A and B are shown apart, each in its own frame.
Chain A
Amino acid sequence: MSEKEIDQTSGIETTGHEWDGIKELNNPLPRWWLWTFYATIVFSIGYMVWYPSIPLWNASTEGLSGETTRSLLQEELAAVRSARAETVEKLAATDLESIRADAELSRFATAGGASIFKVYCTQCHGSGAAGSPGYPNLNDDDWLWGGDLESIYLSIKHGIRNGVDDDARDSLMPSFGADELLDKEEINAVTEFVLQISDQEHDAALAGTGREIFADNCSSCHGADGKGDREFGAPNLADAIALYGTSRADLKAQLHQPKHGVMPPWGDKLGETGVKQLAIYVHGLGGGEKAKAE
């Protein structure tokens, strides 16, 4: 460096930089600033020793504390688990109807069920549990396999038609059109009959013919009045709700070659208390039914 240049007015050394004739004074750093700066250096050394810090080839140094955000998360989760342990044990030991009757347990189960639902169920049933064509709306009062707590619990635990769980409920509707069990006219007639009993616009004459065909072919599962049978998961055809749509075309398609809903079993994945919480949550969405009188 060249020799020091001293500013005439202030008597302070300049940095030697010049912009349009203006020179920068080389004032010393304020002492408080300098000491704070040194303090941060000392702090950073301690920090480096105590926490994981220096990146190496495979991982970073572990630090004396061995603390990582991952380990902190594990600790927090463990704390939450142990805080909940008592309630969860109680849940496991209590039957569903008693959980529902207990304000505290029911609140806990509903909150837990809601978060389980968000993770595992929304993909098919939607975040509001309102379903979509092919996936039932869980808010309404129409249930394929039963809407009391026990039935909902079983549906969740074992699933439906999944071929994985031996206890999963299963049923199959024949493909009346595709397998030529009924011809086109007969299918049309049955469709008009279903439109009639579900209180929709229909051809009364055709529906009359359909009633007979229905009695011969469908009533064994759906019942003579078309109100369904939950034993087989046979839907109620006489209400305003249909899984695959209520229109004439929807009904015809279902008669020709029916689609069947599949649901995986959740018992192993969610555990006993998880399924219980989920059942309480789904039951509380608005369509839950009372337990069947024994």
Chain B
Amino acid sequence: MLTKEKPAKDTPRVENFDAEAVNSKENRSLYEARRKIHPKRATGWFRSFKWWIMGITLGIYYLTPWLRWERGADAPDQAVLVDLANRRFYFFFIEIWPHEFFFVAGMLVMAGIGLFLVTSTLGRAWCGYTCPQTVWVDLYLVVERYFEGDRNARIKLDAAPWSASKITKRTLKHIVWILIGFATGGAWIFYFADAPTLAVNFFTGQAPFVAYATVGVLTATTYIFGGFMREQVCTYMCPWPRIQAAMLDEHSLTVTYNDWRGEPRDRHAKRRRQAGEFVGDCVDCNACVAVCPMGIDIRDGQQMECITCALCIDACDGVMDKLGLEKGLISYATLEEYGSNMQLASGRGDWVSENGRTSQIFPENVRGENGRLIDKVKQTNLRSFVRPRTILYAAIYAAIGVALLWALAVRDTLKVNILHDRNPVFTVLSNGAIRNGYEIKILNMTGTNRSFLVTIEGLEGATLKLAGAAEPEARSLRIEARADKLQASRVFVRVPKDRLDASKTAFSFNILAIGGEDKTKAGAHFEAPDHFDK
């Protein structure tokens, strides 16, 4: 369907592109090799916006591990650190222990709901703007353009025989790609260890094997996904587009070709118009196809491949500007307003021109006397964002967020776990007293070493002793717990036989931070032989 028409003489300012959608319906096959896409550089509002987002997201990714955050002598001073070896997650002023993983789970749920909310209003904004695949492919395209030129130059270079110049360009491109991949994989490992130390160790060959392996794998995946697979990842590997499609409804924004004003498209609009035929705004220049990183034609309608990056909007708006028409032949639109405008533009049955062209769309229906779009044409209305579904998403999102903040505000800095000895459950001593063994685990979740006083409540006559300690048994016990550490102590509790009247007695350990506010109570059982049950 490659039309080798020369650019129309009556629209000299608009450049026409020899571009075809990779998924055009006419040629669609179940078995097909990838067709290489050569996206042209777009300019416009969305492209600028995307440069900003690329800068910000990449900046966050590469720089975050280098931010410092003072936490005291014994704790790491890296602002964001996933310390797998010591099982801690540091995020600025927050330090999460393994038992507090629900914070992370909660944030993941929020991210999920947030994605629902964004998708139901802004469509596939995640795919088009912030998905790492999109951002890195964009970055790789910048490199490709720098060395090989824009679309036409690249197509020419692809077809050209191997020469010194081609080899140089290709080599440089791949070197820079691999360097970017290496920097990407390299930045990843810094989230899991002290960045400055690891950086030195990494380049002096002293880093652990897993660091090199991770960098190797991520370098390879970045290089392959960003340089070669590109749109194939989105179309064939990623499950998310298919899920997102199910979340869109008639009020969600999608990148839409407004065929109600574009059709019937024609490269010789003026000539046709002079011949008394209806002509739409689309001059069929294929600029939208040429800039598409997915290689699709948005004029074929909504497609699974479309990541809504909006570059076709920029391309088309540029053309509309040159033609002196309103921007937005391709625009963000909801299905609802599109349907309404479509109805406005059609509705008079088929229209057949003198030379046999047919169309259901009458561009004149949407244009007034002055040649501008009439007021009846529906524009995107922000109020369409507010609907039961989005309110519900926002409410769930806010509820989880508030719950997490609340949990963070009242977060304990002391936690105690008691484990009763399983074997033996109890020991009868020579004077008939019963002894039980416990492991008391004290989590000192502060940055200072603390002493804790352990006492017993609800078990008459009980005395305590640290296993192996030289001190005699006493009514209370002092346990030292180091800053930010779990202190596990084995403790014996002994009760004289005449103070027991059951084989199982519930009691509790009271743990109090000496010279502090923290205290907690942990339930336990005291076991004795069956004959104590009277």
Contacts and interface: CB of A to CB of B under 8 A. Distances in A.
Whether chains A and B associate is: yes
Interface of A: 27, 100, 106, 126-130, 137, 139-142, 199, 236, 239-241, 284, 286-287
Contacts of B467: 284, 286
A106 B468 contact: yes
A140 B492 CA distance: 12
A286 B431 contact: no
Given A140-B428, A141-B429, A236-B430, A286 B492 contact: yes
Interface stretch (B56-64, B95-103, B419-427): B419-427
B31 interface: yes
Contacts of B437: 286
Give the size range of B's interface with the partner: 10 to 19
Interface of B: 31, 421-424, 427-432, 435, 437, 467-468, 492, 497
5 contacts: A100-B468, A128-B422, A141-B430, A286-B492, A287-B427
A199 B497 CA distance: 12
Given A128-B422, A199-B432, A240-B432, A137 B427 contact: yes
A128 B435 contact: no
Contacts of B429: 140-142, 240-241, 287
B531 to A, nearest CB: 11
A239 B430 contact: yes
Contacts of B492: 286
A135 to B, nearest CB: 13
Contacts of A126: 423-424
A286 B435 contact: yes
Contact of B423 (A128, A236, A240): A128
Given A128-B423, A286-B437, A241 B468 contact: no
B424 A128 contact: yes
A142 B423 contact: no
A139 B421 CA distance: 12
B427 A140 contact: yes
A241 B421 CA distance: 21
A222 to B, nearest CB: 15
Given A284-B467, A284-B468, A286-B492, A239 B431 contact: yes
Nearest to A27: B31
Contacts of B468: 100, 106, 284
Contacts of A139: 424, 427, 435
Given A137-B424, A240-B497, 16 more contacts: A106-B468, A126-B423, A128-B423, A128-B424, A130-B423, A140-B428, A140-B430, A140-B435, A142-B429, A199-B432, A241-B428, A241-B430, A284-B467, A284-B468, A286-B427, A286-B492
Given A106-B468, A286-B492, A240 B428 contact: yes
Contacts of B427: 130, 137, 139-140, 286-287
Contacts of A142: 429-430
A284 B492 CA distance: 12
Nearest to A101: B470
Contacts of B431: 239-240
Contacts of A286: 427, 435, 437, 467, 492
B465 to A, nearest CB: 9
Contacts of A106: 468
Nearest to B29: A10
